[in-house]
Structure 1
Amino acid sequence: MGKRKQFIPKLATLGLLLVGLGSAYLLYQQYQSHPWTRDGQVRADLVRIAPRVGGYLVNVNVTDNQFVRKGDLLFRIDPSSYQLAVDNAEVALDEAREAVAALEASVKAAEAMVKQRETSVDSAKSRIVEAQSSIESAEATIKESEAGVTSARALVERTKALLEEAKREAARARRLADQKAGSEEIAEAKAASVNAFLADLEIAKAGEVKALATLAKTQVLRNEANARLAIAKDGLAEAHSGVITARAELQQTRATLGEPGDGNVRIRNARVKLEEAKLNLSWTEIFAPNDGYITNMDLLSGTFVTPGTPFALFVDSTSFRVDGYFQETKLKKIQPGDRALITLMGHQERRLEGEVESIGYAINPPNLANTEGPDNLVPTIAPTFEWIRLAQRVPVRIRLKEIPDDLHLVAGTTASVSIQQ
């Protein structure tokens, strides 16, 4: 009995030890199968609000930590100078359109001038053909007139010869008649024949004079035709020169114009400047990019803001999430889609539910060996402990399934995350 009484306390101690070991094993298995960490943070997308244009604030429609809806007007910068830029750009666009219209009219006028010069060429060619035809006609008439002059002269000479013959016959007949050897009638007839030949001679001389006048007149016509031909040739050369000049002016005017209509570079450039001015004017109003909160803001109307310089912070309320930083040895137990339980340090009594969205792909571990060294010559290796190696922590992104309306989430606050298998 004494030995049994001594064995019972030992058996109880052994049982308690086994229970403790079993509980520790179960806790270890749960820790291994349900990774958790107290190193978690509430995160949200933060937008540093900075103006795209500079100027004085004329409207500040929000206060610090105020909730705003997407599209709400937050700030307005004095738009007066930007509105003037829009007005100037509109005037410049109108001027560009007027300039293009004037150049288009110049192109049409130059095209009409080219057609007019080409018509002048055709007219000059017609005058040349007409003058050449007149010359040919005059040459033919001159030949006829010269033939007429030759014929008239031959007639005069023949009439003169006949007249001399008639005079001799009349003188002979008169002598015979005076000598009573011939008839008085014959003598008078011969005398009348002489008068007839004298009349014929006058007629022949008149014909010669007329033929010479006709020849002279025809020669004058030919000379006039030659003069007209020379003038027509000069006119043709001048018309050709005018066509060349008009075409060159047309090409220059077209080159100055460029593309007609609204596609002209002057109009396009003016339109771009107008759009730029309108864009700058639109940037004088700053709107909420999403539902969220304005924080870290201390501005009053009349403050001058500079382009690209943040003056307020916007917290996107639709992007609240939790990043849990797990040891790299636990990552094999975590998969996207796993259920996660989150406990906020400021709200220990509430537990939020989430889902693993993604696991980080890069970190910046401390004590990293610098293999570049000074001037890439000598590497600097930080010392490490060979007998212990600390696991690095990797961010795991947790998407919150539901956020209670009465829960005030603050980006950067601490949370604990437990992954449920």
Structure 2
Amino acid sequence: MTMIHPADDRPSPFRSMLSVLLTLSALAAAILLGWWMWQAYMTSSWTRDGTVRAYVVTVTPQVSGRIVELPVKGDQFVRKGDLLMVIEPDDYQIALANAEAAVARAKADLDNKQAESQRRAQLTAIAVSKEEQQSFAAVADMAAAAYQQALANRDQARLNLGRTRIVSPVNGYVTNLLAQPGDYATNGQRVLSVVDSDSFWVDAYFEESVLSGIHVGDTARVALMAYPQKLTGRVTGIGRGIAVPNAQPDGSGLATVNPVFTWVRLAQRVPVRIVLDHVPPDITLAAGLTATVSIVASSEAGEDARGPGEAASAPVVAPPVNKLP
């Protein structure tokens, strides 16, 4: 009788070795990939800490009065020279009329005093003493000074009257408009602000460990969180200073030094200014938007015909970044 032995289910040595090699290979590949990604993260010039910036012009009246005209609305686009508001001019018109009257009086008084002084100066020493001639000359000089003061007061009154009409100093968008016709505007207190539409740029805050790879003139790729399109720009400046908490003295004038672990050092972030080359009309820039920025070295930027040395030294001329309505 023939006996049938069950098949041997144990894996062969070859298969066992192959499994171990595949496992070790996958582990090594994962380690190498992790190391490469870490090196790329630590050495590549990119950051998610970017912010769209713009110059904001604070509009404050230089004279006080009630607002009688306010032809603009919040977030409205205005051009340089457009009327923003009118402060009631009646009081300043009266002040100008009074100043012009004072100029006329001072001029008449000056003419009279100068004529008297000249008559005294032409008389002989027998008719009038030297002291009297000097006295009349001094009175004429005082009248001349009073006339100049009246002219200055008139010019100031005319200037104040002109300041009742407030116009936009830049092209931009009205923001933080909290006033309305009838409100009282106070000299030196902000009424509204205008975001300069020709001044948008991006401040990217890079860790100090990657600053050696960033130069003025380098190409920058900017991705706004609000839009899928990618923008390009140029590095136009690298910050030369950041606040150092340890340099601040306390109330006694002593240095305030925060305790830190010597084996843990956090890289400081330095602002890098980037001017955008072109902004599509369907992208609405606003100061404060979040951006991710990566820097392309001059030698890697195919569209940059200049060499690395030229890119670092050549001035960057920033084109307008907004298409004005």
Under TM normalisation by the shorter chain, which class is it? 0.7 to 0.9
Task: Give the Cα–Cα distance (whole angstroms) in 1 for the partners of residues 61 and 169 of structure 2.
Answer: 13
Corresponding letter in the other structure for 1:110? R
Corresponding letter in the other structure for 1:92? A
More helix by percentage:
1
Counterparts in 2 of 1:216-227, with a 5 A limit?
A: none
Task: Give the Cα–Cα distance (whole angstroms) in 1 for the partners of residues 162 and 26 of structure 2.
Answer: 76
Match of 1:184 in 2: none
Task: Give the Cα–Cα distance (whole angstroms) in 1 for the partners of residues 109 and 27 of structure 2.
Answer: 101
Counterparts in 2 of 1:389-408, with a 5 A limit?
A: 389-408=265-284
Evaluate the alpha carbon distance shift between residue 30 and residue 387 of structure 1 in structure 2; reply closer, same or farther with a 3 A threshold: closer
Structure 2 spans left out of the alignment, 5+ residues? 1-10, 298-325
Match of 1:212 in 2: none
Corresponding letter in the other structure for 1:39? D
- The root-mean-square deviation of aligned C-alpha atoms, in Å, is 2.4
The question of 1:248 aligning with 2:248 is answered no
Match of 1:333 in 2: 213
CA contact (8 A) 1:77 1:284 kept: yes
TM-score norm. by structure 1 comes to 0.63
Task: Give the Cα–Cα distance (whole angstroms) in 2 for the partners of residues 336 and 374 of structure 1.
Answer: 40
Residues 168-217 of structure 1: per-residue CA shift (max 9 Å, x gap)? xxxxxxxxxxxxxxxxxxxxxxxxxxxxxxxxxxxxxxxxxxxxxxxxxx
Evaluate the alpha carbon distance shift between residue 375 and residue 30 of structure 1 in structure 2; reply closer, same or farther with a 3 A threshold: closer
Residues 313-360 of structure 1: per-residue CA shift (max 9 Å, x gap)? 21111111111111121212211111111111111x111111111111
Match of 1:324 in 2: 204
Task: Give the Cα–Cα distance (whole angstroms) in 2 for the partners of residues 394 and 59 of structure 1.
Answer: 45
Corresponding letter in the other structure for 1:375? S
Question: With CA pairs under 8 Å and 6+ residues apart, which has the higher RCO, 1 or 2?
Answer: 1
Residues 377-408 of structure 1: per-residue CA shift (max 9 Å, x gap)? x6543221222111111111111111222211
Match of 2:252 in 1: 375
Residues 13-67 of structure 1: per-residue CA shift (max 9 Å, x gap)? 4554555455455545544553111111111111222111110001001001111
CA shift for structure 1 position 415: 1.0
Match of 2:234 in 1: 355
Structure 1 spans left out of the alignment, 5+ residues? 118-238
Select the residue among 283, 286, 308 that pairs with 2:166. Answer: 286
CA contact (8 A) 1:59 1:75 kept: yes
The percentage of aligned residue pairs carrying the same residue is 38
Match of 1:50 in 2: 60
CA contact (8 A) 1:369 1:382 kept: no
Match of 1:133 in 2: none
CA contact (8 A) 1:42 1:411 kept: yes
Task: Give the Cα–Cα distance (whole angstroms) in 2 for the partners of residues 74 and 379 of structure 1.
Answer: 48
CA shift for structure 1 position 369: 6.0
TM-score norm. by structure 2 comes to 0.80
SS in 1 for 2:132: helix
Counterparts in 2 of 1:148-187, with a 5 A limit?
A: none
| More moved, 25-34 vs 393-402 | 25-34
CA contact (8 A) 1:363 1:394 kept: yes
SS in 2 for 1:37: strand
Residues 108-134 of structure 1: per-residue CA shift (max 9 Å, x gap)? 2213323xx6xxxxxxxxxxxxxxxxx
Match of 1:125 in 2: none
CA shift for structure 1 position 12: 4.2
| More moved, 250-259 vs 38-47 | 250-259
Match of 1:274 in 2: 154
CA contact (8 A) 1:365 1:392 kept: no
The question of 1:40 aligning with 2:50 is answered yes
Match of 2:90 in 1: 80
Q: Aligned residue pairs: how many?
A: 287
Task: Give the Cα–Cα distance (whole angstroms) in 2 for the partners of residues 326 and 29 of structure 1.
Answer: 16
SS in 2 for 1:375: coil
Match of 1:97 in 2: 107
Match of 2:75 in 1: 65
Evaluate the alpha carbon distance shift between residue 32 and residue 355 of structure 1 in structure 2; reply closer, same or farther with a 3 A threshold: farther
